[in-house]
């Protein structure tokens, strides 16, 4: 499967994008570095894995630095929208130490076509897009909806790549560009 590598550089500032949001109290950020153990709810089991990666650190295959965050819009029984922000880690070796990746983007089928996914992306960019920091978004080439969304938010397509599956196990694979990814907007990466 071909992956598209999109990147956004610089601070997020687009006054045209003031999304209509669900009740602000329904949006929930979870950041292990300040919130600790994952909160209860439908994503707690999966978030325990993210919490462990946050604690392991770069030398042990975890994140290169603090910065893991999850944004959800959920009711007491169901997650409607979920998005993850992750620092560089062993599955994303092309990222620079200061880079972040937005992924894990998911919308419940009953919540689609309501602008909630776009609102979550804008909220993540408002909180995490800083000058000189690259934000990555990888997407399967055939995912038209996510590709359209990410382009509409000002991300640039800067490369193609694939997901490795050592011994057929996707969970331990890496996301790798087909060739060296160029700097965009004057940004110079410190990746090895």
Domain boundaries, the chain: 3-14+25-177
Tell me what percent of the residues of the chain surpass a pLDDT of 70.
78
Q: Is the pLDDT of residue 23 over 80?
A: no
The pLDDT of residue 137 is 95
pLDDT band at 6 (very low <50, low <70, confident <90, very high): very high
3-state secondary structure 26-64: HEEEECHHHHCCCCCCCCHHHHHHHHHHHHHCHHHCCCC
Q: Which tens digits make up the pLDDT trace of 129-145? A: 888 789 999 999 999 99
Bridge partner residues of 140 (DSSP): 3
Burial class (CB in 10 A: 0-12, 13-18, 19+), 180: exposed
DSSP for residue 167: G
CATH entry 3.60.21.10 includes domain 3-14+25-177:
no
Mean pLDDT along residues 172-177: 78
Q: Which of 139, 150, 143, 148 is nearest to 175 (CA)?
A: 139
């Amino acid at each position: 499967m071909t992956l598209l590598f999109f990147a956004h550089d610089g601070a997020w500032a687009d006054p045209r994008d003031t999304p209509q949001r669900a009740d602000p109290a329904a949006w929930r950020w979870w950041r292990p570095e300040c919130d600790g153990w994952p909160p209860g709810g439908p994503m707690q089991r999966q978030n325990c894995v993210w919490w462990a990666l946050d604690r392991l650190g770069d030398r042990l295959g975890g994140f290169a630095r603090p910065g893991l965050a999850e944004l959800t819009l959920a009711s007491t029984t169901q997650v409607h929208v979920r998005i993850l922000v992750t620092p560089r880690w062993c599955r994303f070796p092309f990222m620079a130490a200061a880079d972040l990746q937005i992924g894990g983007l998911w919308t419940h089928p009953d919540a689609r076509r309501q602008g909630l996914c776009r609102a979550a992306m804008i909220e993540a960019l408002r909180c995490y897009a800083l000058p000189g920091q690259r934000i990555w978004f990888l997407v399967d080439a055939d995912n038209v909806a996510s590709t359209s969304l990410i382009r509409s938010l000002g991300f640039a397509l800067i490369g193609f790549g694939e997901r490795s599956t050592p011994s057929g196990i996707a969970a331990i694979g890496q996301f790798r560009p087909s060739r060296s990814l160029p700097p965009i907007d004057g940004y110079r990466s410190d990746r090895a």
